Structure 1
Amino acid sequence: MSASTANSLASLLAQTSFEDHTELLKAANAEIKKSKSDLNAHHVRVVALLKLDRFEDAATVFKDVEALRQKAPFEYAYALYKTGDAGKAVEVAQAQSVKGDRGIKHVLAQAAYRSESFAQAMNIYRELASQGVEDEEYDIRINSGAVDAQLEWDGQGELAQKKKPTREDLEVFETAYNAACGSIARGELAQGEVCLKRAISLCSALEDLSDEEKAAEILPMTVQHVYILTQLGKIEEAEQLAATISVHEIKEISTRYIAQVNSIAASKDIANPYLSHRLFHSSPVPSKTDQHFSFQSNLLKQDGYVMSLLSQKTDGVVSSTEKVISAAPTPTLSPAVNMAAVLNAAGHARNVTSEKAALKEILPLLEKRPSDVGLILTITHLYVLMGNYAAATQLLETFFKRLEQSGTATDLDVRFAPGLIATLVSLYTQQGRPGASRSELAKAAEYWRKPHKSETAAPSKALMVAAATALLDTHNADNTKLAGEIFKGLHEQDDEDRAAIAGLVAAYSITDPENLSQDLVAYLPEPSRLISDIDAAALEEAGVPIGTLATTSVAQNPLTAESRKRAAAATTSKTVPSKAKRIRKARMPKDFDPNKKMDAERWLPMRDRSYYRPRGKKGKKRADGLTQGGAVSEEKGSPAPQVQKAGGGGGGANKKKKNKGKK
């Protein structure tokens, strides 16, 4: 910076104070008129604009003055973040974060959160918290709680730092609200309601906020409370609470939109689907700087399609969803695309209620879109509703085989997606095929243990635990060793994960008991604590078989001889009736009476049944002739019985052959 420029800047700053940003902006504009290339004046200008919340104007300055982006990367990244370009803000801030500036790291964390890179935001906040700056501790704790809640909503709950609300979280309304959101995302609605009520109570008791500021803070929490009550089935309470919300007074358009949808869902009076459709679309579209997160927008789009289907707008739903499906590559795990595929199938089915009729309309779509995950899951679900588990299993197996033959990275990620694996394993379990379930889980675990380039292709903790547990159940040495390696990897990721510790101890106690760490064993609860509330004598008296106790002496067994006799008597006296075999309706006769006992000999011909008694003289004589081992009466004119050779299959086996000889 030259001496003239420094003097110019000094004179500029001397004209005003740092608190009066309007005057500072006027002075900077005056200096820029004299010299448009004065970067210091431009820098002062954008800082004043940012202080005055004129973010669009600040972004315009950076767009016009390219050299200013290099001089003020912090302000540039912040302006991008505040104008809704969070992705670009992450790029700018990440390039400067290596220098160790805390300010740029805060901007990077907020931009990553807004661009839904929640894992990256969590790592940054964890790094900032480890540095122990007291002035930032409160803000970091609040922001970290918000990140944990979003990780739960995004299906990455295993990365969250907190899985349960703590007493510290319930001391401030912001952290209590974040704890409530995290509980709701995990499906713990009752706990979420408790945390939410606590947050509202804490906010209402604040003395440093005005009544208007309190109302602005409580309003989104009330909208969230309506959602909880609706999910809990408390429709009347939800409707009453929704009536207290003035939707049009909500300043944030995104929150107003959600409040409108929740009020429709909680209302009993709006039974007309056409009226619901109009109310649903009455809220204005949120701006670029006030967008919903993807999980929210996906649900809102789904609600819109459902409203259209209920309003008989099936052709419109088919057309709209086909655009979404065709614009994305297949196969894909995108929730938005797969949701569109499900609703596209519903549109083609035209609101039929019969599973068989729906399949008739939907199955032809599978020929056009054989790799559509949403469509395949829809057909699988219909097969399950019909009880045809074999067809559902075959459909998924064929799809998986096709993806394996493709061999591309994206196809294999879909092939071993935890949700699809869980679906196939559930079908195997329903059919009593534990071997197939274990094999499928083992293949999935082996795939996800390999390194992946994509950050989004992270292994599912639940899938790995299920796979390792299934391998342990096989009691095979190789499978047990593999299970130990899986649990070891999970333990390295989280050394306090009880499932990983228990699995690691179980595997190592078989494969490598000498090197089993006693610290891991000590972490598990004592066996006596686990069985402290079990009364063995009461179990035996209730009818537990005692055959397994035959090798135990009376001195070793605390059960008395008298209790043994009672248990044996109870066991012998109580017989468990065999379960009646279920008969399909298609095989039942029209006049079938389920209360009438069926004939055990109904499959035999009538003459072979034990209770058959022929009628008339001819019938009695015929019965006497068929008696084996009894006396046979010979009457005049009756031919003696002859042994005949069996015919070759055609007719005429009993015809007499003509004698061939001399004539």
Structure 2
Amino acid sequence: MAAQSLSSLLQRASIDDHEEVLQSSNAALAKSKADQHALHIKAIALLKLDRYDDCLRVFEEAGDGLKSRAALEYAYVLYKSGRPEQAIEVVSQVTGIRGARHLEAQASYRAERFRRAAELYEELSKDGASLSNEENDLRINAWATDAQLQWKGYPGFVRHNRATRDDLEAFETVYNAACLSIAKGEFEQGELLLKRAKELCRTSEDLSPEDRDAELLPIAVQQLYVLLRQGKSEEAQFILEEISVKDIPEASTKKIAQTNATLARGASANPYAFYKALNEIPVSTDSDKLFDYQSNLAIGNSYAADLLVRKYDGIIRSTSKALSRAAYPSTEPSVNLLSVYNAAAHTHGEAGPKALKAIMAALDKRPKDLGLALTAVQLYVSAGNTTSAITTLESTLQLLDESISEQDKEVRFNPGVLSVLISLYKLEGRKVQIRAELAKAAVYWQQPRQGTGEPPVSLLRAAAASLLHSSNAEDLATAGDLFRSLYQSNKADHFAVAGYVAAQAPIDYAKVESLVDKLPSVADLVAEVDLAALESAGIAPSSGANAAAAAAIAGARKRPAAVCREHGGAVKKRVRKSRLPKDYDQSKTPDPERWLPLRDRSNYRPKGRKGKQRAADRTQGGVVNDKLEESGSAINQPKLQSGGGANKKKKKGKR
């Protein structure tokens, strides 16, 4: 009877009667606490009233019956309560409901599973029959997901390259397109798109004045960031006047706005004022928190402010405590960021050798800490000591190599870590070591493992290309296997096809003969190359170029002799005054024999009898001394060491 009266009430209720619906459902539950229909209606009413904590409590108290009956509503309240991972787990079991796919995409976006979110939005966009009024929303969310993919470091999965005419009609889409440009580092393009988004938002007829002001705030905050990155301080001050931080409802946006406003006002000039301003920013909650890359920047700003006010011991304690609870070793940015600031605190503001000494001492205690190792590598490279940088990184990687832990092995062959090592090898021209490292990494990532995700394609491509230049048959075979696996995973990858043909052709051309036709011809590859533009830009012509062009280029490098003659003969090199003697007189002709020793000059006249005798002896064609000729030259005659003979005079004195 209670359920019937509740149903009849709901039929007469409008969308503004959520409080009445809640009261009626409570009245029905007072008579029967286990009424699943009344519980379901109550949960929906609480959702409509944005009372998510109360709604979640209803689901938890009702048990599995209500959770399975209202799985979509349960997943939504989990998502709104800051539990996106649990929401994904629940909503992924719901089939046949388009709204469930929308919710899974939103929860995946909040859980930073951006690749999955992009896949879901693409699937929803392909269903033309069900699009109806969702097309604009799907376009907005797809652009936002692509911007996050770019920021997260997955540019290969970004689906949008340039905004279309339809994209530029809504301020939300334009704003997300601006965010994608900013993530790519295209700040000028991002600034133009943000101005366009602000103009569309101000002229929108679909927004109330309150909603318009709320939408303009995040656009202004993003504008402030872009102007600061471009160094446009004066323009940033004008934008700063439009931002009222206290009026921003989202805690995450408020934190970003307060940080950028603090930097724009120049508080960083006074470290203590900067420290105070950063610590006044409220901390975001679970339901409205920063993304990981944003959180890492915020943590970095906080520790940087601590360093500026010399809170070294506090940083060491807090970072050491956090590192003791984190995975070790780890490639997570948040963990290694703690290591970097821990190392900076150990240096106590010192630089150079003193800083390295403190960091190496800390590295001895945590030899597998990548954050510490990379900090030491950076300092060595800054000092120009690439060899020590390589030795330091190799020592850490050797410990990981010797470990039996699968986690250590995964860290050892992390693409980011390997790219640092290979870059150091390139600085010293160690091609053999580069090829060896890439070969080991390729072997590791080709092995079947559990829970390590997909092999990094960029690393496999680099390894295959490097091994292709080896003269070793085993390396060529490995390169062929890598290119074949890359081709099988992506048939449209011309790089993989070309590499597989190049690796296999010397061994067995028949296997790759059918793939040669799939490669683009050389004429197609160079069809759009402007040779005239390349030559005008400074590209040297080939050996088959005409002599006139070669002479023109040669003449551009060297001053012609005719020009020298116009200025009175050969051009003399200017000698710096510091290289000239003090008594130098430009009007006098320098002595042509000034480079010869004094005794070898023609104007040398020895003084005294002994000097004249030595000069006569050295003079070629002079009188020969018969006695010296018989006994040998006095210069070449060795002196006998006196052994106390009779001719030796004894010195006077006491014995």
Q: Which residue of 1 aligns with 2:357?
A: 360
Moved more, 36-45 or 99-108: 99-108
Of residues 120, 124, 131, the one that matches 2:120 is 124
Superposed, which structure 2 residues align to 1:603-614 within 5 Å? Answer: 611=597, 613=599
Unmatched 5+ stretches in structure 1: 550-558, 576-592, 598-608, 647-651, 659-663
Kindly name which structure, 1 or 2, has the bigger radius of gyration based on alpha carbons.
Answer: 2
Q: CA deviation at 1:260?
A: 0.9
Deviations 1:258-286 (A, max 9, x none): 11110122233652111111111112222
Going from structure 1 to structure 2, the CA distance change for 1:220 and 1:341 (only over 3 Å counts) comes to same
1:45 to 42, 45, 66: 42
Name the stretch that deviates more: 219-228 or 181-190.
181-190
Partner of 1:435: 432
Give the counterpart of 1:141 among 133, 139, 142: 139
Aligned counterpart, 1:328: 326
2:196 alignment partner in structure 1: 198
What is the deviation of 1:574? 9.1
Report the Cα distance in structure 2 between the residues aligned to 1:476 and 1:573, rounded to whole angstroms.
49
In structure 2, C-alpha distance between the alignment counterparts of 1:524 and 1:407, rounded to whole Å: 52
**Match for residue 570 of structure 2?**
none
CA spacing shift, 1:463–1:106, aligned 2, 3 Å = same
Q: 2: distance between equivalents of 1:393 and 1:169? A: 48
Equivalent in the alignment of 2:316: 318
Of the candidates 140, 149, 152, which is equivalent to residue 150 of structure 2?
Answer: 152
Q: Structure 1 residues 514, 186: closer, same or farther in 2, change over 3 A?
A: same
Give, as a single letter, the amino acid of the residue that structure 2 aligns with 1:234. Answer: K
CA positional deviation for 1:301 = 0.8
Q: Does the 8 Å CA contact 2:125/2:131 hold for their aligned counterparts?
A: no
Alignment-derived partner of residue 586 in structure 2:
none
Letter in 1 for 2:81: T
Deviates more, 1:418-427 or 1:490-499: 490-499
Measured at CA, do residues 626 and 23 of structure 1 come closer, stay the same or move farther in structure 2, by a change above 3 Å?
A: farther
Specify whether residues 403 and 623 from structure 1 end up closer, same or farther in structure 2 by C-alpha distance, changes over 3 A only. farther
Change (3 A) 1:638 1:7: same
- CA shift for structure 1 position 127: 2.5
CA distance in 1, matches of 2:558, 2:11: 102
Structure 1 residues 164 and 454: alpha-carbon distance in aligned structure 2, compared to 1, 3 A threshold: farther
Following superposition, the deviation at residue 343 of structure 1 comes to: 0.9
Give the distance between the partners of 1:643 and 1:618, measured in 2 at CA: 15
CA distance in structure 2 between the partners assigned to 1:380 and 1:420 by the alignment? 12
1:100-141, CA deviations, whole angstroms, 9 ceiling, x for partnerless residues?
332222222211211222222222222222323223332222
Amino acid across the alignment from 1:521: P
Give the superposition deviation at 1:482. Answer: 4.8
- State which drifts further: 407-416 or 52-61: 407-416
Aligned-partner Cα distance in 2 for 1:396–1:409:
20
Q: Deviations over 1:299-323 (max 9, x none)?
A: 1011000011111112111111111
Task: Work out whether residues 183 and 192 of structure 1, in 8 Å CA contact, stay in contact via their aligned partners in 2.
Answer: yes
- Out of 283, 308, 311, the position equivalent to 1:285 is 283
In structure 2, distance between residues paired with 1:216 and 1:380: 46
Q: How does 1:54-69 map to 2 (within 5 A)?
A: 54-66=51-63, 67-69=65-67
In the other structure, the counterpart of 1:381 is: 378
Contact 1:151 1:160 in 2 (8 A): yes
Conserved 8 A contact 1:9-1:40: no
1:527 matched to 2:536? The reply is no
Question: Counterpart amino acid of 2:17?
Answer: D
Q: In 1, are the aligned partners of 2:2 and 2:28 still within 8 Å (CA)?
A: no
Q: Show CA shifts across 1:598-642 (max 9, x none).
A: xxxxxxxxxxx9737498776887799899999974558996479
Q: What TM-score do you get using the length of structure 2 for normalisation?
A: 0.81
Work out the CA distance in 1 between the residues paired with 2:230 and 2:554.
47
Taking the aligned partners of 1:640 and 1:409, their CA distance within structure 2 comes to 83
> What is the one-letter code of the residue matched to 2:108?
A
Q: Does 1:209 align with 2:207?
A: yes
Letter in 1 for 2:526: P
Length-normalised TM-score, structure 1: 0.80
Q: CA deviation at 1:143?
A: 1.7
Q: Give the conservation status (yes or no) of the 8 Å contact 1:179–1:195.
A: yes
Cα separation, 1, equivalents of 2:140 and 2:87: 22
Question: In structure 2, what is the equivalent of residue 412 of structure 1?
Answer: 409
Structure 1 residues 201 and 495: CA distance shift in structure 2, 3 A = farther
Relative to structure 1, the CA distance from residue 211 to residue 480 in structure 2 (aligned partners, 3 Å threshold; closer, same or farther) is: farther
Q: Is the 8 A contact 2:3 2:28 kept in 1?
A: no
Deviates more, 1:116-125 or 1:26-35: 116-125
* CA 14–571 in structure 1, closer or farther in 2 if over 3 Å, else same: closer
Secondary structure class of the residue paired with 1:529:
coil
> Is residue 258 from structure 1 mapped to residue 256 from structure 2 by the alignment?
yes
Check whether the contact 1:12–1:31 (CA below 8 A) recurs between aligned residues: no
SS in 2 for 1:36: coil
Quote how far apart the aligned CAs of 1:81 are: 0.7
Residue 118 of structure 1 contacts residue 147 of structure 1 at CA under 8 Å; is this kept in 2?
A: yes
Q: What's 1:346 paired with?
A: 344
Give the match's secondary structure for 1:331.
Answer: coil
The one-letter amino acid paired with 2:109 is Y
Alpha-carbon spacing, 1:430–1:50, altered in 2? closer, same or farther (3 Å): same
1:155 Cα deviation after fit: 1.6
Q: Which residue of 1 aligns with 2:571?
A: none
Following TM superposition, by how much is the alpha carbon of 1:381 offset from its aligned partner in structure 2, in angstroms? Answer: 0.6
SS in 1 for 2:368: coil
**2:46 corresponds to which letter in structure 1?**
L
SS in 2 for 1:521: coil
- Distance verdict in 2 for CA 1:509–1:129, change over 3 Å: farther
CA distance in 1, matches of 2:615, 2:436: 61
Superposed, 1:295-314 pairs within 5 Å as 295-314=293-312
- Aligned partner letter, 2:459: L
Give the 3 Å change call, closer, same or farther, for CA 496–240 of structure 1 in structure 2.
farther
- Segment drifting more, 413-422 vs 633-642: 633-642
Percent identity, aligned pairs only? 40
Counterpart-to-counterpart distance in 2, 1:181 and 1:524? 38
- The 10-residue stretch of structure 1 (253-262 or 488-497) with the greater mean CA deviation from structure 2: 488-497
Retained in 2: the 8 A contact 1:505–1:520? no
| 1:244 counterpart letter in structure 2 | E
Q: In structure 1, how many angstroms separate the alpha carbons of the residues matched to 2:554 and 2:252?
A: 69
Of residues 97, 105, 108 in structure 2, which corresponds to 1:109? 105
Q: Which whole-Å CA distance do the structure 1 matches of 2:493 and 2:180 have between them?
A: 19
Offset from partner CA, 1:327-382 (integer Å, 9 cap, x none): 11211011111111111111111112x31121122211111010110100000011
Deviations 1:195-242 (A, max 9, x none): 222222222221111222111111111111111111122223223322
Q: Which has the larger displacement, 434-443 or 152-161?
A: 434-443
The Cα of 1:446 is off from its aligned counterpart by 3.9
Q: Please say if residues 438 and 462 of structure 2, whose CA atoms lie closer than 8 Å, have aligned partners that are also in contact.
A: yes
Aligned residue among 422, 447, 463 for 2:459: 463
User: How far did residue 478 of structure 1 move?
Assistant: 6.0
In the other structure, the counterpart of 2:567 is none
Aligned partners of 1:109 and 1:124 also within 8 Å: yes
